[in-house]
A and B are shown apart, each in its own frame.
Chain A
Amino acid sequence: MSSIAQRKPLGLRIGLNLFIVVWLIMAAFPFVWTVWGSFKVELDFFSIADWTNAIFGRNTEATYGTPFTGAGYFGAWVQEEFWRNAINTTIVCLFVVATSLTIGTLGAYALSRSGFKYVFWLLILALIFRAMPPITLVSGYLPVFFDWNVWGYLPTSIIVLVAINQPFTLWMLHSFFESIPKELDESAKVDGCTQFQAFRRVIIPVMWPGVITTGLFSFLLAYNDFAVTTMVLSESNRTMIPAINAFMGTTQTEGNVMFAVAAVVSATVPLFIMVLFFQRQIVSGLTAGAVKG
């Protein structure tokens, strides 16, 4: 890109940089603003009198003596017991990721190593399942869950999320296993391994990059889900996202919007850390489907 022919004229360069700055502000500013505001009182966060109050926290200073306060976080985590929801989310995400990767790896490996025609149809079927909005399935779950008395418990939501996750996991891992040369496990089979032994001894040691990438997206699906967990979990077993929605209903009447703001910021932190450490994997995961598909 260093040849003179490709050097851009000044006007274009300024235009491009301006556009990037505008997008950067659009993408990042809401988060910065909300994190900053979450340490203020409501009168500052929603400052009707003077918007600079939200920056300098004049009302917060008048109430607490400092321009920053952890009152919102205290209210959400201690008073409203948000930590319970955080623990529930941790449990759900952990088990969803572990289970869906285990069964997804086996299934996707089989799909990639079997040359039969039904592989194509199974993948198409998975694509159709992927297109199904999860909420349309919920009215199919509820009567059965009520009948069997399994409604409201964490394991129920884990199994449902694992299943909803499978089509995507299969697609992603399938395209990843396709990129691992078939000669690897075939030579293991020639040496006398069964298919499963070949998988265990030859494929498992080299599959981790693809599995980690897929795992990140499984985690995102479980963590971000709102529709299914709200419908399937009882009030005492709520994960973080349904709990935030419940906050919106209860705290707004009590004038404690700041609890919800603090909870929202708390729920964003794990995602932020994830992007920080796994940016490369997320990008490769997003593009893997595109380049193959």
Chain B
Amino acid sequence: MKHRTFFWFFLPTALAMLVFIAAPIVSVVTQSFFLPHEAVLIETENCGPFGCNTSITIDQEATAELWEEAPLGRFAGFDIYLDRGHLATAEIGQAWTTSESWSEFWSIVFNLPFYRALAFTLTYTFVCTPALIALGFAIAVAVNSLHRHLRGLMIFFSLLPMIVTPLVGSLILFWMIDARGVLGNFIQYLADDPDLSLKASTPLMWISLIVYGIWSSAPFAFVVFYAGLQTVPQDTLESSMIDGATRWQQIRYVTIPHLMPLVTFVALIQLMDNFRVFEPIIGFTAAAHATSLSWIIFNDLGGETRQLSAAATTSVLTILGVAILLSPVLIRTWRDFRGRPA
């Protein structure tokens, strides 16, 4: 295909991605260095028969003029990155000098909004991903041993938690684990504590969110591994059996190595998706106990005061996080590419 033909074929999709993905990234990075202008205030003194009182009003014209002069706002450099809502270097420095023990230091750090969110996001990502891979693999092995007619039915029901809208899925689970819901009741009965509420306790909330994450993503791992199991070389399995491998050894030394590329694939996709965890926090109304980076951005953007600069800064930090997560994969791809004969 000629370069010219390629260009015309690729133009529409390239335009869409340039205008709505690449350009916004540039805009987000720019915004993260600028603060909005402060409104110009005028103090006027009104004197009447009962004395004088001063009133402060916003000088709309002067404010508009400021925006006209510098449409991006006041240049703030890295100030927004370092403020209390983000990296909070000053607060951490202070905590470092004043706190007497490690636990005190960490408790101060994890009360800062950014680090609180980062702690949950990372815990969620790195607990959910291995757990859902393990569960997905177990389901795949179990379903693979079923009769042919039952497998389709199992796949149908297994797909549901993954296909359903994340917000809807989390609401469905949330209503069940509510203290008045069926699972919440059951847990109270098991713990023998009628006042137990998942909503009131931070560790329990984290656990429920992680359980939701595993529940909603294990089907994906299951389907991919199940497809992989269909291609396990039967000859190798048979020869391992002749060599006296037990059932477990067959899985350990034949099946798992065969599925390894798929594990990498699922891990990559799930790391990307779990890092953006957001909907379950809304669905579980868990913001008091657990926040994520995406949730902070959403929270800054919503409401009456749209704090665009703060949201942009968190966005840039999140993108950096994604880049760090992806870097091993990218480096490997780059090596493969360079090693390939041109």
Q: How far is the CA of A128 from the CA of B329 in the complex (A)?
A: 11
Nearest chain A CB to B250 CB, angstrom units: 10
- CB pair A164 B9 closer than 8 Å: no
Interface residues in B216-245 (C-beta closer than 8 Å to A): 219-220, 223-224, 227-228, 241
Looking at the assembled complex, report how far the CB atom of A67 sits from the nearest CB atom of chain B, in whole angstroms.
Answer: 17
Q: How many residues of B contact A (CB 8 A)?
A: 98
Q: Is the CB of B10 within 8 A of A107?
A: yes
Docked CA distance A275–B160 (Å): 8
Pick the residue among B28, B142, B173, B186 that contacts A137 (CB under 8 A).
Answer: B28
Asked whether A54 is an interface residue with its Cβ less than 8 Å from the other chain, the reply is: yes
Asked whether, in the complex, the Cβ of B1 is within 8 Å of the Cβ of A195, the reply is: yes
- Given the known A-B contacts A139-B31, A143-B31, A268-B168, are A282 and B16 also in contact in the complex, defined by CB atoms under 8 Å? no
Stretch at the interface among B48-56, B86-94, B175-183: B175-183
Among the listed B20, B155, B219, which residue makes an inter-chain contact with A164, where contact means beta carbons less than 8 Å apart?
Answer: B20
Q: Which of B39-47, B76-84, B108-116, B318-326 contacts A (4 or more CB under 8 A)?
A: B318-326
Docked complex: A192-235 residues within 8 A CB-CB of B: 195-196, 199, 220, 223-224, 226-227, 230-231
Is B127 at the interface (CB under 8 A from chain A)? no
Q: Is A75 part of the contact surface with B, judged by Cβ < 8 Å?
A: no
Q: A114 near B1 (CB under 8 angstroms)?
A: yes
Contact between A274 and B9 (Cβ–Cβ < 8 Å)?
A: no
Q: Is the CB of B165 within 8 A of A223?
A: yes
Which among B165, B297, B322 is the interface contact of A241 at CB below 8 angstroms? Answer: B165
With most chain B CB atoms within 10 A of its CB, the pick from A115, A244, A267, A283 is A283
**Contacts A103-B13, A110-B6, A275-B160; is A133 near B322 (CB within 8 Å)?**
yes
Question: Are A129 and B21 also in contact (CB < 8 A) when A144-B27, A271-B163 are?
Answer: yes
Q: Does the CB pair B9–A226 fall under 8 Å?
A: no
Complex partner residue of A107 from B13, B166, B319, CB under 8 angstroms: B13
With an 8 A cutoff between CB atoms, is B266 at the interface?
yes
B328 located at the interface, meaning its Cβ lies under 8 Å from any Cβ of chain A in the complex: no
Could you tell me if B163 and A231 are in contact, using CB atoms closer than 8 angstroms? no
CA–CA, A143 and B156, complex, Å: 43
Max chain B Cβ within 10 angstroms of own Cβ: one of A133, A167, A224, A268? A133
CB pair A139–B301 under 8 Å, yes or no, is yes
In the bound complex, what is the Cα–Cα distance between A220 and B168 (angstroms)? 13
Q: Smallest distance from the beta carbon of A176 to chain B beta carbons, Å?
A: 15
The majority secondary structure among interface residues of chain A is helix
Chain B residues within an 8 Å CB radius of A78: none
A132 to B326, CA, bound (A): 11
Contact of A131 among B171, B266, B279, B326 (CB under 8 A): B326
B5 at the interface (CB under 8 A from A): yes
Report the Cα distance A48→B184, complex, angstroms: 10
> A111 contacts B10, CB within 8 Å?
yes
Contact A27 B315 (CB under 8 A): no
A271 to B17: give the CA distance in the assembly, Å. 28
Nearest neighbor of A185 in chain B, beta-carbon distance: B1
Binds A, one of B58-66, B96-104, B200-208, B306-314: B306-314
Closest to A189 in B: B1
Q: Contacts A20-B143, A275-B156, A291-B227 given: A114-B6 contact, CB under 8 Å? A: yes
Give 3 closest A-B pairs by Cβ, nearest first.
A140-B24, A163-B20, A110-B9
18 other contacts beyond A27-B219, A47-B185, A139-B297, with CB at 8 A cut-off?
A51-B185, A102-B12, A103-B13, A103-B16, A106-B10, A133-B275, A137-B24, A137-B25, A138-B297, A139-B311, A143-B27, A196-B5, A230-B298, A248-B285, A264-B172, A268-B165, A274-B163, A286-B224
13 residue pairs A–B, Cβ–Cβ below 8 Å: A8-B145, A19-B139, A33-B176, A34-B176, A45-B175, A103-B12, A114-B6, A124-B330, A132-B21, A226-B166, A271-B163, A283-B159, A290-B224
